[in-house]
Amino acid sequence: MGKVADESEYLRTEVALLQFSDANFKSPLSPLFIHIHDDDHQTTTSFDSESDPSSQQQQQNEQQHPKDEWLPLTESRNGNAYYAAFHILNSNIGFQALMLPVAFATLGWIWGSVCLSIAFTWQLYTIYLLIELHESVSGKRQSRYLFLAMSAFGERLGKVAALFPVMYLSGGSCVMFIITGGGTMKLLFKTLCENHNGTTCGAHSLSGVEWFLVFTCLAILIAQLPNLNSMAAVSLVGAVVSISYCTLFWSLSVKKGRPMGVSYNTTLVQQESTLVKISDILNAIGIIVLAFRGHNVVLEIQGTLPSNLKETSKEPMRRGVTISYILIAMCVFPLSIAGFWAYGNQIPSDRGFLTAFPQFHKHEVTKFSIGAIYVLVILHCLSSFQVYAMPVFDNLELRYTTLKNKKCPRIVRTCFRLLFGGFTFFIAVTFPFLPSLGALIGGMTLVPLTYAYPCFMWLAIKKPRTKGIVWCFNLVLGCLGMVLSVLLVAAAIRTLADKGLNANFFKP
């Protein structure tokens, strides 16, 4: 009887996942019928036969409609804390962290360190909120950020608030990986082909579009792994290489010493207008807050962990987050401090370390060293692509299972992933200047999703005592997150209006 109760609870959990789908599901072709009413979202379960408990148990095991087990995010739930740590490291450390010394060049040592510490603590706090909200209501598992937002804010408001940010941070991040990975491939070829006298070898380099295509083909080939849990090894590779190139960048920069003429006076000294100074400060803060990402896949990562009424997924997820964020702190803080020490306000503002290191130390390190760093960046872009693409694959297959009432066949799953790869490649080629819009779009999407929404969702679902300390703290923090989002968007628009945008459509 205990097993029957567990199965019933599991079914209630899985049906809850589908309450927020726009489509109607057909009834399963088994003795166990699950009826989902669109009007009031009530779920009823009935058995056709009054058999003994063992017979009912067998009927439950034979039921043919475990929809959550059909989808790539949740079809495998046998992960652990280490797998979660691999995914978090792979998705949270990125090339955006290489821009942190640029923020310090504007803010200086003290304010740069203060802002970095606040942003790190703030986003870590909201991650722990999301972990708690993953199984917050009667054991229901919210394995998608969008579904949690709809559960907290209501179906319509939740979609309006979270749909575009979630979809952009998945698909848009994949486009950014194509642009960065393909561009780094081009830099790698140029570095290896360049002779000591500055001339290039006779090998013919591919065009920017062709490098993008090479990267996309490799990414989609790896993306044929069936689900997020099966990509743990890929995420392990991504975590190792991301930590490696971050460490190599700052350690080699410190080892080679500071270039001549390095100054630690902030770039604000060069500005006369107060409006320009405020805009530069906000842009620097934007670089710091946008360096922390991955909140849109935290719930999905937690969805790969096993959970039952006695042992939920919260504890292993907390361990995974703790392990990963100790390593993340060991990357981002030295990158910021050592990077600013090494280059001061001479740090290039376009790509940070990725441009500064070859520019200042090109003749002091071997081509092999620079090439190895480029290879590590490419491998990380390839592995991170998989984690950020998985929510899109999951959504496509959810639509298919909704319409067909069956698991997505392998050939259809492959076609979905090829289609997504082709679409992201087209966007990358069409808008190769998308990184220039990173501050603008990131302020609209990543900042609310990371710094504001988790606080509001905690208030809506947990319902702490009104005007209590917890209630006031989360309300203030959420409001500050939304204000920060507005300010960063305004500063990004002002910067684009002042400096212009090199809109090189179809010319990567």
CA distance 167 to 189: 33
Q: What is the DSSP letter of 41?
A: -
269 contacts: CB under 8 Å, gap ≥ 6: none
- The tens digit of pLDDT for each residue in 208-233 reads 999 999 999 999 999 999 999 999 99
- The tens digit of pLDDT for each residue in 171-200 reads 999 999 999 999 999 989 988 887 665 556
Q: Is the pLDDT of residue 481 over 60?
A: yes
Whole-angstrom CA distances from 361 to 83, 102, 197, 255, 364 are 37, 18, 16, 11, 5
Q: Which pLDDT score is estimated for 409?
A: 93
Query: What sign does the CA torsion over 363, 364, 368, 372 have?
Result: negative
Mean pLDDT value across residues 68-82: 90
Min mean pLDDT across 113-127, 192-206, 276-290, 362-376 is at 192-206
- The tens digit of pLDDT for each residue in 25-68 reads 333 333 223 333 333 333 333 334 334 444 443 344 333 344 77
Buried b (16+ CB within 10 A) or exposed e, 340-350: bbbbbbbbbee
93 φ, ψ (degrees, to nearest 5): -85, 130
pLDDT confidence bin for 245, thresholds 50/70/90: very high
Whole-angstrom CA distances from 45 to 9, 48, 86, 227, 400 are 11, 10, 38, 29, 24
Q: Which pLDDT score is estimated for 197?
A: 59
Q: pTM for the complete prediction?
A: 0.85
Q: Which pLDDT score is estimated for 502?
A: 85
